């Protein structure tokens, strides 16, 4: 007689794992393989093709347990099941009555609140009429509605502008003097990139998929990913363990970012299709990330997320055609733009922090000056209308990369000084660009998409220097440019010299 190695009971559809020889119930082992891809007993790699059906008898039903071989035992089992059913029914009835009372109370509160609001609105309207009558009798011009004036005032606060200007002055003055460290990777190192590690089965398998990755700048091998399973995971590649799983979003998480600053609490930020962005802060006492704030500023999916170079601000872009700025010290919304003409699909910060680039649905990238909240330029492609799902600024400060064709198989390299595309990179038909990223030295550009991952030199000599296949949704360069990390499906892959 066989027993399933997972459930411990006689299997109705027994199978045996070819590598380990263990017997399992078919539905249980197939579900385990779909979620983990390994043998539950040995931990070795296991696929559905590695399991073999066992022709066992009886084939129609498993043998009856010993305690069900007599009529009194069967009656006793039925009595126990009936008692359990009656008890469960009683519990459900109690919960139903409690829920009815809570609903009745909530409806009463809503009715009372509605009456109060209606009374206040009536008093407000009466006061406005009285004020208008007095102003008319005294010959004073009526003033604008206070609420309307507040709604129409979309001005970036002075303290926020001061942060942006201070960061701009500091970074722009040192940009030309900056020198790469001797240990930084060279193009020759990049040409020699080879697979270093593959981390499969991250996030849940239903719905499967990782949408974004960000690397920790202070802890090597630690990264965070945003998934379709509504969670953010923090993973240590060296120990191959999930360190934290951050839950709270109600729909897929589109983007994740990491705020790591000296003397400040480490923050994880995420943007989701549930129209919110969340902030988690590291709690030293609990040794985990705890919720800090939820931004409910937008009425559409939050499709863009970027941390300002000062580490004091975060910008969000939404499909509702607006973007917003938020303070990471007070966790307050400091600015929200008026609606633009087209929905947004992506967002990136200029390395000096005074501009953001916003990808739209009509093939254009809107460059916004954050000090005024107004567009400084619109870089429109001549290839027609298409969705700009990714934007990347070079660390040299004057170059920007974005998809340049409706088929997403061309990268447009824009010169911000002249506001025109200086060159294009053809990545191949059917590539479908999903992510773009410059390395810190601005020496090469990473392009990820359905066609794989390619690295180009975007300067005067534009050539492909390295490539690999496999779908890539997002990518990031490792410390000193010595590695490149990419996500696709539920897998994170790492290449290095």
Q: Give yes or no for residue 399 having a pLDDT over 70.
A: yes
What's residue 179's pLDDT? 83
Distance between CA atoms of residues 497 and 484, nearest Å: 10
Domains in the chain: boundaries:
14-63, 160-496
Query: Which helix (DSSP H) or strand (DSSP E) does residue 174 occupy?
Result: helix 158-175
Residues in the chain, overall count: 497
Q: What's the CA gap between 475 and 451, in Å, rounded?
A: 14
Percentage of the chain exceeding pLDDT 90: 73
| 199 beta partners | 492
Interval 419-436: pLDDT, tens = 999 999 999 989 999 999
Torsion-angle region of 354 (φ positive above 0: left; ψ -120 to 50: alpha; else: beta): alpha
pLDDT of 1: 65
Residue 267 has a pLDDT of 97
How does strand 323-327 pair with strand 333-336?
A: antiparallel
Residue 355: closest CA among 175, 164, 169: 164
- Do the Cβ atoms of 216 and 208 come closer than 8 Å? no
Please check the confidence at residue 236 and state whether its pLDDT lies above 90.
yes
Q: How far apart are CA 15 and CA 24, in angstroms?
A: 5
Nearest Cα residue to 206 out of 176, 229, 188: 229
Token pair recorded at residue 28: 């249980």
Q: What is the pLDDT of residue 66?
A: 62
User: How large is the average pLDDT for residues 154-164?
Assistant: 92
- Tokens 């970012």 identify what position? 257
CA 140 to chain centre: 54
pLDDT at 219: 92
Q: How far is the CA of 176 from the CAs of 140, 163, 165, 180, 477, in angstroms?
A: 58, 21, 18, 11, 22
DSSP class of 481: G
Output the pLDDT for position 67. Answer: 62
User: Contact 409/432 with Cβ under 8 angstroms?
Assistant: yes
Write down the pLDDT at residue 222. 97
CATH architecture of 14-63: 2-Layer Sandwich (3.30)
Which of 39, 11, 28, 139 lies closest to 3 in space, CA to CA?
11
> Could you read off the pLDDT of 263-294 as tens digits, one per residue?
899 999 999 999 999 999 999 888 899 999 99
What is the structure's pLDDT at 290? 93
Residue 22 has pLDDT above 80, yes or no: yes
- The neighbouring-strand residues paired with 466 are 455
pLDDT value of position 332? 94
First to last CA, the chain: 54
**pLDDT category of residue 122 using cuts at 50, 70 and 90:** confident
Cβ atoms of 365 and 359 within 8 Å: the answer is: yes
What pLDDT was estimated at residue 145? 40
The pLDDT, as a whole number, for residue 191 is 95
DSSP 374: E
CATH homologous superfamily, domain 160-496: YVTN repeat-like/Quinoprotein amine dehydrogenase (2.130.10.10)
Q: Are 271 and 314 in contact (CB under 8 A)?
A: no
CB-CB contact of 490 with 450 (8 Å) = no
Phi and psi, residue 297, nearest 5°: -75, -35
pLDDT the model gives residue 59: 54
Q: What is the CA radius of gyration of the chain?
A: 30
Name residues whose C-beta falls within 8 Å of residue 44's C-beta, 6 or more positions apart in sequence. 19, 20, 38
Mean per-residue pLDDT of the chain: 90
Give the max Cα distance, the chain.
102
H helix intervals, 67-157: 71-138, 146-152
- The string of pLDDT tens digits covering residues 163-213 is 999 999 999 988 877 888 889 999 999 999 999 999 999 999 989 999 999
Cα separation of 435 and 479, whole Å?
Answer: 19
């Amino acid at each position: 007689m066989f027993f399933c190695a997972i459930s411990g009971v006689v299997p109705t559809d027994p199978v045996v794992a070819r590598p380990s020889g263990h017997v399992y119930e078919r539905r249980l082992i197939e579900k385990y393989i779909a979620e983990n891809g390994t043998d539950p007993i040995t931990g070795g790699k296991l696929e559905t093709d590695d399991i073999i059906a066992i022709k066992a008898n009886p084939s129609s039903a498993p043998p009856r347990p010993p305690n069900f071989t007599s009529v009194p035992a069967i009656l006793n089992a039925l009595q126990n099941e009936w008692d359990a059913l009656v008890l469960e029914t009683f519990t459900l009835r109690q919960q139903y009555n409690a829920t009815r009372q809570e609903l009745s109370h909530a409806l009463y509160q809503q009715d009372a609140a509605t009456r109060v609001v209606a009374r206040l609105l009536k008093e407000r309207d009466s006061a406005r009429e009285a004020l208008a009558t007095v102003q008319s009798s005294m010959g004073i011009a009526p003033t604008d509605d206070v609420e309307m004036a507040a709604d129409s005032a979309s001005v970036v606060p002075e303290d926020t502008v001061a942060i942006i200007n201070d960061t701009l002055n500091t970074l722009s003055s040192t940009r030309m003097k900056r020198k790469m460290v001797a240990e930084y990777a060279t193009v020759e190192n990049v040409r020699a990139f080879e697979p270093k590690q593959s981390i499969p089965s991250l996030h849940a398998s239903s719905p499967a998929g990782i949408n974004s990755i960000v690397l920790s700048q202070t802890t090597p091998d630690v990264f965070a990913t945003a998934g379709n399973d509504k969670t953010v995971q923090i993973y240590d590649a060296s120990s191959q363990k999930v360190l934290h799983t951050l839950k709270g979003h109600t729909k897929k998480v589109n983007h994740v970012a990491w705020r790591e600053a000296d003397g400040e609490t480490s923050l994880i930020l995420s943007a989701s299709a549930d129209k919110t962005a969340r902030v988690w802060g590291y709690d030293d006492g609990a040794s985990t990330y705890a919720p800090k704030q939820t931004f409910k500023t937008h009425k559409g999916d939050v499709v863009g997320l970027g941390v300002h170079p000062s580490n004091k601000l975060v910008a969000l872009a939404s499909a509702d055609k607006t973007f917003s700025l938020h303070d990471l010290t007070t966790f307050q919304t400091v600015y929200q733009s008026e609606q633009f003409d087209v929905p947004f699909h992506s967002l990136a910060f200029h390395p000096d922090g005074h501009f953001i680039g916003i990808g739209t649905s009509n093939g254009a990238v809107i460059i916004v000056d954050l000090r005024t909240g107004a567009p400084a330029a619109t870089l429109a492609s001549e290839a027609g209308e298409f969705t700009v799902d990714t934007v990347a600024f070079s660390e040299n400060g004057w170059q920007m990369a974005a998809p340049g064709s409706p088929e997403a198989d061309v990268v447009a390299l824009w010169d911000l000084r002249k506001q025109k595309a200086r060159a294009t990179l053809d990545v191949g038909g059917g590539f479908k660009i999903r992510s773009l990223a410059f390395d810190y030295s601005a020496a090469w550009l990473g392009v990820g998409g359905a066609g794989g991952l390619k690295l180009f030199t975007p300067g005067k000599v534009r050539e492909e220097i390295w490539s690999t296949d496999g779908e890539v949704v997002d990518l990031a360069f490792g410390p000193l440019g010595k590695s490149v990390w990419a996500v696709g499906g539920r897998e994170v892959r790492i290449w290095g010299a």
